[in-house]
Amino acid sequence: MMPRFLISILIIILYPGLALSGTLKGKITYSAEVKLPKSFKTGKFKKACGPEVPNEKMLVNDKKLENVVVSVEGKNLGGTPGKYTFDQKNCRYVPHVMAMMKDSELKIHSSDPINHNLHTYSFDNDPVNIMFLPNQDDYEQEFEEPEIIKVECDLHWWMTAWIIVTDNSFFDISGQEGTFEIPNLPPGKYTINAWHEILGSKSQTVQVGEGVTEINFDFSDVTPQISKK
Tens-digit pLDDT profile for residues 167-213:
999 999 999 999 999 999 999 999 999 999 999 999 999 999 999 99
pLDDT for 83 beyond 60:
yes
Across 118-136, average pLDDT = 96
SS3 139: strand
Looking at residue 144, what is its pLDDT? Answer: 97
User: What's the chain's Rg over C-alpha atoms?
Assistant: 20
Pinpoint the residues of the chain covered by CATH 2.60.40.10: 17-75+170-229
Looking at residue 11, what is its pLDDT? Answer: 42
Looking at residue 5, what is its pLDDT? Answer: 46
Residue 35 vs residue 135, higher pLDDT = 135
Which of 116, 120, 86 minimizes the C-alpha distance to 100? 86
- Under the banding of pLDDT at 50, 70 and 90, the label for residue 157 is very high
Please give the single-letter amino acid code of residue 97.
V
Domain 78-169 has CATH 2.60.40.420: yes
pLDDT for 3 beyond 80:
no
Q: Check: CB of residue 125 under 8 Å from CB of residue 142.
A: no
Across 84-97, average pLDDT = 98
- Under the banding of pLDDT at 50, 70 and 90, the label for residue 35 is confident
Please give the single-letter amino acid code of residue 164.
I
Burial class (CB in 10 A: 0-12, 13-18, 19+), 41: exposed
Quick one: fold of 17-75+170-229? Immunoglobulin-like (2.60.40)
- Under the banding of pLDDT at 50, 70 and 90, the label for residue 145 is very high
Number of neighbours of residue 207 by Cβ within 10 angstroms: 10
